């Protein structure tokens, strides 16, 4: 592992520098800076002592800090001490608690019911026998009905070794069940899924770059190679970033020793660094496709940019987020931290992929990104290249044109596949999820007996048959979505919410919706990783990428034959 831990992301950097107690004279670089600080101090004292009403000093200080940061860049922010634990959990990829994924489901009276979505593998809840679909109705003898998300975390998370008793209603079991659970450290998996798409194509999907990501990635890559993988899809869609070191280490597995992965330049000499690949990568010569979208940010863009600039991988999808700034976190008095931009990073060709921003205007920054992604969704990479100034054009190792100043433009842009109006009506209200929840409530025991220990059999053989499809249509009718000449069942509906669709519209949407139902069921029977092999059958961008292997193979062949020429 590298000795320098550089951290980047739409998330947090966990590098702390203690400001409290440092002598002011040692930190100020000039009399002008000291005078400015004195001005801030004087204003604070005047407001605290002389304002017409009592002021909250802490709130006043936080407002001043936020005001300073707002005038810098969109990614320098203040993090209150109450948020630090959640930030650390996210990037350390672990927390201490009972080990469940959960959802809060309103009952008929609108009261939240805490439902177990999945029991996390290897966690305390799995050890005592909690199951997907269990409803936690009490914690330590006190009702859990009506819990908010904050109350769930407050009551179920806690230091390892402490105990908590949960009372559960289980579908198909008449009596309530009680479980005493000893809290423990629970790993948060940052690898969403790894599976064989076909006999020679493997796919690895990462949801962030946290402390454990590189190890998870290597393990998955080795297992796929053992399963006969000849070509790899690395899915970085919706991956907002994280530790720069993890992005560097993963990129290293694809690149030849000595190749630049990323460089960064900042105000201080310590923030000027260049990172290069080492020897012994696990996937240095074989065909590689990287999937990206508008939520692929920061560390994801480091990986995509390095592999694109070295002509090592075919980048497929949509323009990435465009975050080329590096943050570090500095602890200040009271336990809060400042996440401060200390450098800009550059891809191997020298590109800064940060999208432009106006100081202090975060709303405009994020809206402009959304507008940009929307406007170029139907364009080709070539047309986008033709629209930018020559000063923003760079060349890859083989001479291909790429651009700076606005995210990573994929080699092949795949427009968003539009959903039917019927599918949007169902997904918009999460009715497919609600139907599967009810299915689990009524048939959990039967489903577990049939499929519980046979994940591969379920993924390969389970189908939404005619009976289950009709049950879904009846369910939709009970939720005011009528297909064809179906009759509305249940209480009389409010006509303003009633939606009518034809049999033809159902026919056009059926494959998509049946696949989505199977994916939701797979998630509840197993875990989130089981969703993706199912959904992959209807994943438009993924399926488009599978038609592009000839290009990826050409890149891999050229990369291997050309060898690495030092820049």
d(CA 191, CA 235): 10
Of 8-12, 112-116, 144-148, 245-249, the least confident: 8-12
Q: Active-site residues: which are they?
A: 298, 309, 323
pTM, 2 dp: 0.86
Of 60-64, 192-196, 507-511, 531-535, the least confident: 60-64
d(CA 121, CA 193): 14
Read off the pLDDT of each residue in 127-146 and give the average, rounded to a whole number.
Answer: 91
Q: Name the band, by pLDDT with cuts 50, 70 and 90, for residue 496.
A: low
**CATH fold group of domain 191-416+554-562:** 2-enoyl-CoA Hydratase; Chain A, domain 1 (3.90.226)
Which residue bears the tokens 């608690």?
97
Read off the pLDDT of each residue in 439-455 and give the average, rounded to a whole number.
Answer: 89
Is residue 291 within 8 Å of residue 234, measured between CB atoms? yes
C-alpha distances (whole Å) from 300 to each of 42, 135, 248, 291, 305 are 44, 37, 10, 10, 8
| Residue boundaries of the structural domains of the chain | 94-187, 191-416+554-562, 421-526
- Residue 164's H or E segment, with its range, is strand 163-169
Higher per-residue pLDDT: 365 or 55 = 55
d(CA 310, CA 313): 8
φ/ψ of residue 100, rounded to 5? -135, 155
Read off the pLDDT of each residue in 143-151 and give the average, rounded to a whole number.
Answer: 92
Read off the pLDDT of each residue in 20-48 and give the average, rounded to a whole number.
Answer: 74
pLDDT tens digits for 196-252? 999 999 999 999 999 999 999 999 999 999 999 999 999 999 999 999 999 999 999
Residue 29, pLDDT > 90, answer no
Q: Which pLDDT belongs to residue 273?
A: 96
pLDDT tens digits for 410-419? 999 998 888 9
Q: Which pLDDT belongs to residue 492?
A: 53
pLDDT tens digits for 148-173? 988 998 999 999 999 999 999 988 78
**CATH fold group of domain 94-187:** Pdz3 Domain (2.30.42)
Q: Which pLDDT belongs to residue 82?
A: 78
């Amino acid at each position: 592992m590298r000795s320098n831990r550089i951290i980047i992301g739409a998330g947090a950097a966990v590098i702390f520098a203690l400001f409290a107690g440092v002598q002011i004279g040692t930190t100020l670089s000039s009399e002008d800076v000291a005078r400015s600080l004195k001005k801030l101090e004087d204003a604070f004292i005047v407001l605290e002592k002389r304002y017409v009403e009592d002021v909250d000093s802490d709130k006043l200080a936080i407002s001043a800090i936020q005001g300073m940061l707002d005038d810098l860049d969109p990614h320098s922010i203040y993090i209150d001490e109450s948020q630090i634990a959640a930030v650390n959990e996210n990037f350390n990829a672990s927390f201490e608690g009972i080990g469940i994924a959960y959802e809060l489901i309103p009952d008929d009276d609108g009261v939240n019911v805490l439902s177990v979505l999945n029991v996390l593998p290897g966690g305390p809840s799995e050890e005592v026998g909690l199951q997907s679909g269990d409803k936690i109705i009490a914690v330590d003898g006190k009702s859990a009905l009506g819990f908010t998300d904050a109350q769930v975390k407050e009551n179920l998370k806690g230091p390892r070794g402490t105990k908590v008793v949960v009372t559960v209603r289980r579908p198909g079991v008449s009596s309530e069940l009680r479980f005493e659970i000893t809290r423990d450290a629970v790993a948060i998996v940052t690898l969403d899924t790894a599976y064989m798409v076909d006999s020679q194509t493997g796919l690895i999907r990462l949801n962030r770059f946290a402390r454990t990501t590189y190890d998870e990635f290597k393990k998955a890559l080795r297992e796929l190679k053992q399963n006969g993988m000849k070509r790899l899809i690395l899915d970085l869609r919706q991956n907002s970033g994280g530790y720069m070191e993890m992005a560097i280490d993963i990129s290293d597995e694809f690149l030849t020793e000595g190749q630049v992965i990323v460089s960064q330049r900042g105000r201080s000499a310590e923030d000027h660094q260049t990172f290069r690949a080492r020897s012994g990568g696990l996937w240095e010569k074989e065909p590689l496709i990287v999937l990206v979208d508008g939520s692929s940010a920061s560390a994801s863009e480091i990986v995509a940019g390095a592999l694109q600039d070295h002509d090592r991988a075919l980048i497929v999808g949509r323009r990435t987020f465009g975050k080329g700034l590096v943050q570090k976190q500095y602890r200040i008095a009271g336990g809060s931290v400042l996440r401060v931009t200390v450098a800009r990073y550059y891809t191997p060709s020298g590109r800064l992929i940060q999208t432009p921003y106006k100081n202090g205007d975060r709303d405009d920054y994020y809206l402009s990104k959304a507008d940009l992604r929307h406007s170029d969704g139907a364009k080709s990479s070539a047309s986008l290249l033709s629209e930018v100034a020559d000063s923003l054009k760079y060349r890859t190792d083989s001479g291909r044109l790429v651009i700076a100043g606005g995210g990573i433009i994929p080699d092949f842009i795949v427009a968003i596949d539009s959903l039917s109006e019927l599918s949007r009506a169902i997904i918009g209200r999460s009715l497919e999820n609600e139907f599967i929840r009810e299915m689990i409530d009524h048939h959990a025991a039967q489903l577990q007996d049939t499929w519980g220990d046979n994940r591969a059999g379920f993924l390969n053989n389970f189908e939404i048959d005619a009976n289950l499809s009709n049950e879904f249509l009846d369910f939709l009718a009970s939720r005011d979505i009528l297909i064809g000449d179906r009759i509305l069942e249940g209480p009389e509906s409010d006509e303003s919410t009633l939606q009518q669709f034809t049999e033809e519209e159902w026919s056009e949407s059926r494959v998509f919706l049946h696949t989505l139902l199977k994916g939701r069921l797979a998630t509840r029977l197993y875990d989130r990783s089981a969703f993706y092999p199912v959904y992959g059958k209807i994943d438009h961008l993924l399926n488009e990428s599978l038609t592009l292997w000839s290009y990826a193979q050409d890149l891999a062949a050229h990369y291997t034959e050309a060898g690495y020429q030092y820049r």
